[in-house]
Chain A
Amino acid sequence: MKGEILIKNAKLVDGRGEHGQADVLIGEGRILSLSGGEASTVLDATGKVLSPGFFDPHAHLREPGQEVKEDLQSGLAAAVRGGYTDVVSMPNTTPVVDSAEIVRALKEKAARLGRARLHPAAALTQGQEGKVLSEARLLREAGAVMLTDDGRTNEDAGVLAQGLQYAASWGLLVSVHAEDAGLRRGGVMNEGAVSFRLGLPGNTGYAEAARIARDLEILRYVMEGPGARGLQPGRSLLHIQHLSTRRGLELLRQAKQAGLPVSTEVGPHHLTLTDEHLESLNPIYKVAPPLRTQADVEALMEGLLDGSIDCIGTDHAPHTQDEKELDMLRAPFGIPNIEVCWPLLYTELVGKRGFPLPTLIERFTDGPRRLLGFSPVHLIEGGEASLVLWSPGEERPVEPHTFASKAKYSPWAGWVLRGWPSVTLVEGCIVYLQQENR
C-alpha cells in the first residue's frame, strides 16, 4: 500500500496518558490502525516513544528581514529536529508582520518547505507601535492565529483593552510581553544578589508582576467592567508570554481561579537555568525576561505541574554569533532552543525530578493547541498523524555546531540529554528522520 508508514513496537504516550505498545499504521495523513498492517515504509521503534507532534506557541524565525539570524528554512528545519510539527512565529520582523499579504506569503513559503506547519502571529498594533490596531479580521483570514506586539510591551492600557475586545470578536488570542518598562530600568539580567555583585543593571521580577497585575485588570475590565461587550470566549483571550517569576505566577493563578480567560507559557531556559549562570558574565545567558532565581524555577515547575501554566513556549530567539559575543550591555536578548527543548525538559524534569511524562507531553501538545483553538492530536485510530518518535534511552550531548538553526551556540552545550526526537511526521509525511549513523 503505497505511501503508508508502519511504526512498529512504539510505546504510545500522549497528553492523556500512557497507552502501551503498538504497531501504528499511518496513511492519508491519519492513524489508520494501532494494530499493525502493511506499509511501504516500516520504522522500527523498539525502545522509542511515539507522541503527538509538539506545538510551539512562541518562536522567532526572523523572516522577513533578519534572515542572517534565521529564516523559515533553517527555523522550520530546526523545529522538526526538535519534534515540533507546528510553530507560531512572532511578528517582530523587518517589516513587522502586520498585513494579510505578509501572513499569506509566510504561510505559502512555509508550505513549500514542507517541514513544520507555520502559524504566523501578527502584530496587535500596526507596526507594533502600540497606537492603531491592526486588521484582525483580514489577518485571521490570511492565517494569523494570534496577535501580539512581542518584542515590545503594550504601554497604553487603553490600546490593549481595545485590542482585546477587537481581537476576541474575530477569535484571535492576544499575547503580551508583560514587563513594566519603567520598573525594568534598562536591566540586562535579573535584579538580585548576582546582579549587585556583578555590577550589572538589574531587571526586577516585580516589573513582570506589576505588568501582569495591570493586564489582568484590563482583562477584567474587558470581561466584566462597563467596557464589557458581551464577550464570552470559550478559551483564553489574554496570553502572558514567557512567564519567569513566582509572583507573576501567583497573580495568574488567582486570576484563573476567578475565571478570567487568561493563559500563560514558560520557556525551557526559565525552567533549567538561573541568574547564577550569569556569574560567567557570558551574554549567551542574556534573555528577556531574564533568568531568575531557583525559587522562581521551583514555582514555575509547580505551575507547570498543576496547570496554572498552560504550555511550554520555546521563545526560540536566534542571533548571530558576532552579536552574542558583544558584551553584557550590548549583546541582544535571546536563546536558540527549539532543537533541544524537548530532550532538555524530558531529561531535567521527567528524568531528574520525576515530573509525570503525560503532563509534560500535554504542555507541549494539547496545551498550546487548546489556547489557539486547534483540535488536540491524540494517539487514536483516525487521529491526525502529526507525530514525533523520540528516544528516552539515547543519551547525547548538546552539540550546537550540529544545529539546523543558524544560531550555533547554546547555554546547554555539552549537557548530556535523553529523549532526542528521531522521526517527526506532519499529516503522515516524514519531515525529519534522524541519521542513524550520526
Chain B
Amino acid sequence: MSQSATPAFPKHLLDFRDWNRTQVESLLETAQMMQEVLSRPVKKVPALTGFTVATVFFEPSTRTRLSFELAARRISADVVSFASATSSTTKGETYKDTLRTLDQMGIDAYILRVDAAGVCHQAYAWLQKPIINAGDGWRAHPTQALLDAFTLREKLGSLEGKKVAIVGDILHSRVARSNAELLPMLGASVVACGPATLLPGSLPGASLTTDLRAALAEADAVMVLRLQKERMDKGLLPSLPEYVAGYQITEERLQWAAPRAPLLHPGPMNRDVELEGTLADSPRSLVERQVANGQAVRMAVLYHLLVGKKG
C-alpha cells in the first residue's frame, strides 16, 4: 500500500463528480489488496489505528451499516454508530445538530445515510471532514457502485466495451444513478430498463428503454434492482403480477443476454418478484460475492480518504 503512488483524492465520496478514472482504478486496486487481507486467518491490519469513524444512519439499513462498520474495524479504526429512523419534519435540523455534536467527539470521518439528496453535500459543507455517502435519497450510493464495478471486473476481467443492463425501478434508484455514473467511466455501456412510470426522462451515462428484450440483448451482465411495493400505492404500477409479467428476470429471459452473463442485485431481494428465486441461487448469481466484496471496497475507501489523502 504505497502512498506515493496514490493520486490526489477528493476528500469525500459524495458521488463521482469529483473523481476520475485513475483515482477510481487506484481505489479498486487497493480494494484488491484489502480482499487479500480478508482472506487471512486474522482479518485485520493497523492502517487506521488512532482514527475514529462514525456511521450515521438516518435511514434504516442493516447490511450497509454492518459492512461499513466491519470494514472500518478490519483496518483498525474505532467505530461509533448513530442510527435514527425518525420521520420528524425537523429531521434536517437533527442532521446538522447531530453531526455537529458528534464532531465535538473527535470523529475523523463520517459514513452517512439519509433519505434526501444533498444532505451529504451539506454535511461536508458543515464539517469539512471526509464524508462517505452511504446512500442519499434517490441520488447516489457510490460504494455500492464501486463494489458492483469491482465484482464485475473480477468476473469479466475488464469493463472496457462491456454492456451492463440495469432492470427495475430506475427512477427511484440511487444504485442505478451511481452505476450509470461509474461504469461508463470504466469503459462499460449501461442500458437502464423498466416500465415507463419507473424510468426517469433521462439518465446521464445510460440509455433508457422500456423493452426488456432490447435491454438484455447481448448484455454482458444484468443488474436487477429491488422493486418497492409502495410504488403501487403511488400509482406508478398497476400491480406486482403486472410487473412480473413484463420485467421479472427469469431463466428464459436471461437467455436474451450474452451466454453466462452474470446476475447482480444490490439486495435485499424480493424473490420471485424482480427475479426468479431459483436464479438468485444459481451459479449466474453474484449476489453473495457482491456482499463479500463490499467490505473490501469500503476498507479501500476509508483508507484512501483518511490515510491515502496524505500521499
Q: Report whether B122 and A196 are in contact in the complex, using a CB–CB cutoff of 8 Å.
A: no
Alpha-carbon separation in the docked complex, A431 to B91 (Å): 41
Contact of A199 (CB < 8 Å), options: B89, B90, B138, B202? B138
Q: Report whether A199 and B92 are in contact in the complex, using a CB–CB cutoff of 8 Å.
A: no
Taking A199-B137, A281-B121, A281-B122 as contacts, is the C-beta distance between A327 and B95 under 8 angstroms? Answer: yes
Taking A193-B202, A196-B203, A197-B204 as contacts, is the C-beta distance between A327 and B116 under 8 angstroms? Answer: yes
Q: Is B117 an interface residue (CB 8 A)?
A: yes
Taking A198-B117, A199-B138, A199-B139 as contacts, is the C-beta distance between A326 and B93 under 8 angstroms? Answer: yes
Taking the closest CB of chain B, its distance from the CB of A141, in whole angstroms, is 39
Alpha-carbon separation in the docked complex, A385 to B204 (Å): 56
Q: Which among A14-22, A32-40, A236-244, A328-336 touches the partner chain?
A: A328-336
Alpha-carbon separation in the docked complex, A326 to B126 (Å): 12
- Per-residue CB proximity of B88-112 to A under 8 Å, as 1/0? 0111110110000000000000000
Taking A327-B92, A330-B91 as contacts, is the C-beta distance between A196 and B118 under 8 angstroms? Answer: no
Contacts of B116 in A (CB 8 A): 327-330
Q: Report whether B202 and A196 are in contact in the complex, using a CB–CB cutoff of 8 Å.
A: yes
Alpha-carbon separation in the docked complex, A330 to B117 (Å): 11
With CB as the reference atom, state the residue of chain A lying closest to B95: A327
Taking the closest CB of chain A, its distance from the CB of B159, in whole angstroms, is 22
Q: Is A325 an interface residue (CB 8 A)?
A: yes
Q: Report whether B95 and A199 are in contact in the complex, using a CB–CB cutoff of 8 Å.
A: no
Residues of B41-98 whose CB lies within 8 A of A: 89-93, 95-96
Contacts of B117 in A (CB 8 A): 198-200, 281, 327-329
Contacts of B140 in A (CB 8 A): 199
Q: Report whether A197 and B203 are in contact in the complex, using a CB–CB cutoff of 8 Å.
A: yes
Q: Is B157 an interface residue (CB 8 A)?
A: no
Taking A281-B118, A327-B119, A328-B116 as contacts, is the C-beta distance between A200 and B92 under 8 angstroms? Answer: no
Q: Report whether A191 and B92 are in contact in the complex, using a CB–CB cutoff of 8 Å.
A: no
Alpha-carbon separation in the docked complex, A191 to B200 (Å): 10
| Tier of interface size on chain A | 20 to 34
Q: Is B115 an interface residue (CB 8 A)?
A: yes
Q: Report whether B93 and A199 are in contact in the complex, using a CB–CB cutoff of 8 Å.
A: no
Q: Report whether A329 and B137 are in contact in the complex, using a CB–CB cutoff of 8 Å.
A: yes
Q: Is A436 an interface residue (CB 8 A)?
A: no
Q: Is B177 an interface residue (CB 8 A)?
A: yes
Contacts of B177 in A (CB 8 A): 197, 199
Contacts of A322 in B (CB 8 A): 93
Alpha-carbon separation in the docked complex, A325 to B96 (Å): 8
Q: Is A382 an interface residue (CB 8 A)?
A: no
Contacts of B91 in A (CB 8 A): 326-327, 330
With CB as the reference atom, state the residue of chain A lying closest to B92: A326
Contacts of A281 in B (CB 8 A): 117-118, 121-122
Q: Is B222 an interface residue (CB 8 A)?
A: no
Contacts of A325 in B (CB 8 A): 92-93, 96, 122
Alpha-carbon separation in the docked complex, A280 to B124 (Å): 12
Q: Report whether B203 and A327 are in contact in the complex, using a CB–CB cutoff of 8 Å.
A: no
Taking the closest CB of chain B, its distance from the CB of A409, in whole angstroms, is 13
Contacts of B122 in A (CB 8 A): 281-282, 325, 327
Contact of B139 (CB < 8 Å), options: A200, A282, A330, A331? A200
Q: Is A351 an interface residue (CB 8 A)?
A: no
With CB as the reference atom, state the residue of chain B lying closest to A331: B92
Q: Report whether B89 and A330 are in contact in the complex, using a CB–CB cutoff of 8 Å.
A: yes
With CB as the reference atom, state the residue of chain A lying closest to B172: A199
Alpha-carbon separation in the docked complex, A207 to B218 (Å): 40
15 A-B residue pairings within 8 Å (CB atoms):
A193-B202, A193-B204, A196-B201, A196-B202, A197-B202, A197-B203, A198-B139, A200-B118, A281-B121, A283-B118, A327-B91, A327-B116, A327-B117, A330-B90, A330-B91
- New A-B contacts (18) at CB < 8 Å, excluding given A199-B177, A327-B116: A193-B204, A196-B202, A197-B177, A198-B118, A200-B118, A281-B117, A281-B122, A325-B93, A326-B90, A326-B92, A327-B92, A327-B118, A327-B119, A328-B116, A329-B115, A329-B116, A330-B90, A331-B92
Closest 3 CB pairs of A and B: A326-B92, A281-B118, A199-B138
